[in-house]
Structure formats: C-alpha cells, structure tokens
Amino acid sequence: MKSIWDLDGTKYPKLTENKNFDILIVGGGLTGISLCYYFKDTKYKVGLIEQNSLLKSTTLKTTGKLTYLQKDLLTKIKTIYNKDIAKKYLSSQINAINYIIEIINKENIKCDLEENESYLFTTNKNNTNKIIKEFNLYKEFGIDAKLLNKLPIDIKINSCFKVPNTYVFHPLKYGYGLLNSINKNNNIEIYKNTRMIDFKKYNEYYEVNLNSNYKIKCKFLIIANSYPSFIFPYLFPIKTKIEKECVIVEKTNNNLKFNAINIDKNIISIRFYKDYMIRVYDSNKLSLKEINKSITYKDGNSYKFSNYDVITLDSLPIIGKIDNNMFLATGYNTWGMTNSNIAAKTISDLILYNKSEYENLFRSNREFSLNKSLNFFKFNLSTIYNLLLSKISLRDKSTIKYINGEKYGVYIDKFKKEHIVKLTCPHMKCGLFFNTKEKTWDCPCHGSRFSIDGDIVRGPSTSCIKKL
Ligand SMILES: Cc1cc2nc3c(=O)[nH]c(=O)nc-3n(C[C@H](O)[C@H](O)[C@H](O)COP(=O)(O)OP(=O)(O)OC[C@H]3O[C@@H](n4cnc5c(N)ncnc54)[C@H](O)[C@@H]3O)c2cc1C
C-alpha cells in the first residue's frame, strides 16, 4: 500500500561484479544514506548495498516527526539506568535535530521542514502521573516544557504537556536531498537490488556474499538494515522486538502546527502534512483479521499502510561496534529520524576519529539490569505468542495447501494464476501470515515480509522463501 511519502525511485544499478571497498554499508534506508553522507569527502572508498530500492522500507512509512519528545522514554531510561543516562539520551536527540537542520540548510534540501511543538498526552486518568513524571524530567533537564489540559485538536484528554523546538518534515525528500549531495562525490558507490546473504571474517577484512553470487571485500562493515540480522540472530531478539503500527492519512481542512503522541496502551500519534492528517495506531494489539479489516483502502486521497520498527528492551538504540571493524545501527524504538542521524554520526566518528560522544551510551554490549526492566517477559511474550499462533492458528483456508505433508501458502492473482510458497520464515522458522491488503507473506515474530513469489520485501530474514 502506497505511503504518503512515496516518490519516484532513485536510479542506481545492481552490483554485477566483485568489489573491494574500505567501508561497506548494508541497507539503503535513512541510516545507510546518512552514513554515506558523513563519509562523503573522506579518503575512504565506500559502498552501499540495498536489497530492494533505496528509502523504500521503514523510512518510507514513518510519520516524519523530528522530535525529542518520544513518549515516556526518558522515564523508562531513568528507571532502567539513571538520570544521567536519560539526560544524555535527550541531548543526543536534540543534537540529532540540530545536525539534521544544519545539513538541510547546508545542502539546501527542500524537504518541507516545519517547526512545530510536540505534545505528550494521555486519555487515561491512571496515566496522569506518568505524564507529570516525564514533564518533570524535561523541566529538570532544562527544556521549556508547559503543562496543559488540552490539545490543539478536539480529542478528549486527561493531561498533557508540550515542548518547543521540534519539527516535522518530508522524510523521503530529505533522504533524496542527502543522496543528491552524496552523488556529487566519487568516493561513494551505491547499488540497489543487491542483497547481503552472509559474511566471513578474515584477519584484515570481511568478505560479504551477495544474493547474486558476487562478493564484496571490505575493511569496515556496517550493518544498517534496521534489524541485527547477521549478528547472533538467535540472541538479539531477546534484546529487541518488532513493533507494527498502522498509519492512516486523511484529508483535513485544518493543518494544525503541532504534533502529538500519547503514552497509553493503544498508541495515538498525530501530525499534519499540507492538508493531510497523519495518525498512527498500534496494530500489535489487534488480530490480523482486525488489522486487515481496518486497512480498507479508500478511494481518493487517503493512504493506509503499516510499518514496523525495532524496539529494545532498555529503550536505548543499539549503535556502534560489535566486532573489531564491524558496526551495527538498530533498535530505534520508532524514533529513527533522529536516531538514524545519531547512528551515522556515531559510527562515522568511530571509523574516522576512533572515538564518539555516544559510543558508551549506545554500545551493543551495555549491561543493564533485567529485573529493573520489569517488562522483560511481557516484552518477549508477544513474540512467543505470535510464534505459537503462527504454528497453530487457522488462517484463511483458501490460502493454504498441503503438498507432501508440507504447508504451502497459495495466493491467486486476478488472472487466476496461483503463486505458491513455503510457509516458513527462514529467519527463525515462524509460520507466515498472508497480509491481504499489502499482498505479502508476513512473519508475525520478527517482521520479515515476502512477496507473493517468496522474494524478501523486508528482513530480518536474509533468504527468500521457497517458491513452488
Ligand atoms: C508507524 C511508525 C511511525 C514512525 N514515525 C517516526 C517519526 O515520526 N519520527 C521518527 O523519528 N521515527 C519514526 N519511526 C521510526 C523510523 O521510521 C525508523 O526507525 C527509521 O525509518 C529506520 O530507518 P533505517 O534506515 O534504520 O531502516 P530502513 O528504512 O528499514 O532501511 C533499512 C534498509 O536495509 C535494507 N536491507 C535489509 N536487509 C538487507 C540485506 N541483507 N542486504 C541489503 N539491504 C538490506 C532494507 O531493504 C531497507 O531498505 C516510525 C516508525 C513506525 C513503525
């Protein structure tokens, strides 16, 4: 389903030979492209590979808020760690906003950047305390936050506060602006339709295998594919999970200059773009049937699509070194407009200068107290539940076929042609559900998605599903 941000694709080739790079970036979302931006004008020969088209995955379906008001993340981080770490996280987000604005101005990127205030609210009186706690932290950290009792829009709320100096923009126009300026440099090569399958580590370099059977050798390898697919694939899901949310975009007569998000169980997130109102709601809580029912496409100018992001157990992103010369950027907790920038800045600083302001804050091997993160089991419960459900649930019978005792999914297109694929996700062997609106086979455990012919639409799986 089309996102409101969708623009014509960029024209990059597929890689059709073996290559050597100093730095290889895997993933052409906002993180990968921001990394290229920070490496342009350096002595390094840099390659970026994207398995599909650039900027067409999570980044395409964001709401494009550039804000440091990120639900009650500060309270969560303070509870798991301490006030200093919460403050440092806040400062990283404010810095990211400033870096992005600097880039937009320097490169003259026309991305509909608009300053507007961010609101955090609750519609549940039991959560008023949470709002006050978060508000107090912002005040304590020197933010000019203001407590209010209503939003600029007609939603009945219990309490809210707002903060200044936050923005909204058009994420794809920003991404394409970065690409324009990267394209002027010949130290960077970008390839689309080029997928990393796996890698081997040698003393001085990494050798990356591609789906095309070609190989890339590189000294530094950066995994910016939104999920830690290549690193302990069976361990990382303990620290991270996938959150799926639905986005509804509808015409409105009121373009109000604010954005808002709640802290309640059922997410409500709002922003405006031109004469559209963009709303997000949480689809983890909904059954697949309900999701599909709610994503009925309307004719005309309304868009409905879903998006996934990687959530971490301790509410901090995972950014930095995971091996000598291998780096990872993931776990943005649905705040990747700012975090993709800070990830790119952190990793490029580590490679270029061997140090970064945020290397300790975001390192992947940070220790945190599991018992303070009370949600540990609850956190992983939805993944386990989805895994079990995917094995036992009765899906739409018309889409299932048993061949030699194995379960296959069948999609019949409008020409009555059958598209038959094996219904097991190669990543962690969960069963797949058919997403009737987006016409993909989706893994409910970690968010991999496959086309009706089994090709990967998004990871973490790095292999396609078998087509019959
Ligand atoms: C509903 C929703 C709303 C959101 N709204 C906001 C918001 O308002 N503000 C905000 O800050 N954040 C928001 N986010 C989060 C933000 O959109 C994401 O965190 C961000 O876009 C992630 O960017 P990325 O580059 O890391 O990942 P992606 O955009 O997913 O890019 C990763 C790329 O890697 C490619 N890839 C994967 N595997 C391979 C492989 N093996 N080989 C080659 N390429 C590969 C993929 O095809 C993909 O293009 C939202 C998230 C959701 C779910």
pLDDT reading at 227 higher than 90: no
Which of ligand 1's atoms lies nearest the C-alpha of 246? 1
pLDDT reading at 101 higher than 50: yes
Average pLDDT over residues 30-37: 98
Q: What per-residue confidence (pLDDT) applies to 17?
A: 98
What's the CA gap between 464 and 453, in Å, rounded? 9
pLDDT digits (tens, 9 = 90+) for 230-246: 765 545 555 666 777 78
Q: Mean pLDDT over all residues of the chain?
A: 86
Residue 119: band (very low, low, confident or very high) from pLDDT cuts 50, 70, 90 = very high
pLDDT reading at 6 higher than 80: yes
Ligand 1 center to residue 448 CA distance, Å? 13
Average pLDDT over residues 47-69: 95
Average pLDDT over residues 154-176: 96
Q: Is the CB of 10 under 6 A from ligand 1?
A: no
Q: What per-residue confidence (pLDDT) applies to 409?
A: 85
pLDDT digits (tens, 9 = 90+) for 359-378: 999 998 787 665 555 555 55
Higher-pLDDT residue of 96 and 322 is 96
Q: What per-residue confidence (pLDDT) applies to 397?
A: 41
pLDDT reading at 266 higher than 60: yes
Where do the domains of the chain lie, and which CATH numbers do they carry?
65-80+109-170+237-312 (3.30.9), 392-458 (2.102.10.10)
Higher-pLDDT residue of 162 and 243 is 162
Which of ligand 1's atoms lies nearest the C-alpha of 245? 1
What's the CA gap between 447 and 430, in Å, rounded? 10
Q: What per-residue confidence (pLDDT) applies to 291?
A: 44
What is the SS3 assignment for the chain? Answer: CCCCCCCCCCCCCCCCCCEEEEEEEECCCHHHHHHHHHHCCCCCCEEEECCCCCCCCHHHHCCCEECCCCCCHHHHHHHHCCHHHHHHHHHHHHHHHHHHHHHHHHCCCCCCCEECEEEEEECCHHHHHHHHHHHHHHHHCCCCCEEECCCCCCCCCCEEEEECCCEECCHHHHHHHHHHHHHCCCCEEEECCCCEEEEEECCCCEEEEECCCCEEEEEEEEEEEECCCCCCCCCHHHHEEEEEEEEEEEECCCCCCEEEEECCCCCEEEEEECCEEEEEEECCCCCHHHHHHHCCCCCCCCEEEEEEEEEECCCCCEEEEEECCEEEEECCCCCHHHHHHHHHHHHHHHHHHCCCCCHHHHCCCCCCCCCCCCCHHHHHHHHHHHHHHHHHCCCCHHHEEEECCEEEEEEECCCCCEEEEECECCCCCCECEEECCCCEEECCCCCCEECCCCCEEECCCCCCCCEC
Higher-pLDDT residue of 251 and 151 is 151
* Minimum CA distance residue for ligand 1 atom 10: 335
Q: Is there a contact between 298 and 251 (Cβ–Cβ < 8 Å)?
A: no
Query: Which range, 157-161, 267-271, 370-374, has the best average confidence (pLDDT)?
Result: 157-161
Q: What per-residue confidence (pLDDT) applies to 297?
A: 38
Q: Is the CB of 448 under 6 A from ligand 1?
A: no
Residue 96: band (very low, low, confident or very high) from pLDDT cuts 50, 70, 90 = very high
Q: Give the mutation target among 54, 332, 463 for probing the ligand 1 site: most ligand atoms within 8 A of CB.
A: 332
pLDDT digits (tens, 9 = 90+) for 371-416: 555 555 555 556 556 555 555 554 444 477 777 777 788 888 878 8
Q: What per-residue confidence (pLDDT) applies to 388?
A: 59
Q: What per-residue confidence (pLDDT) applies to 298?
A: 42
Q: What per-residue confidence (pLDDT) applies to 396?
A: 46
Q: What are phi and psi of 436, to 5 degrees?
A: -65, -30
Ligand 1 center to residue 112 CA distance, Å? 20
Q: What percent of the chain has pLDDT over 70?
A: 86
Q: Is the CB of 26 under 6 A from ligand 1?
A: yes
Average pLDDT over residues 265-273: 90
Q: Is the CB of 307 under 6 A from ligand 1?
A: yes
Average pLDDT over residues 199-208: 95
Q: Is the CB of 347 under 6 A from ligand 1?
A: no
Ligand 1 center to residue 460 CA distance, Å? 12
pLDDT reading at 293 higher than 60: no
Average pLDDT over residues 196-220: 95
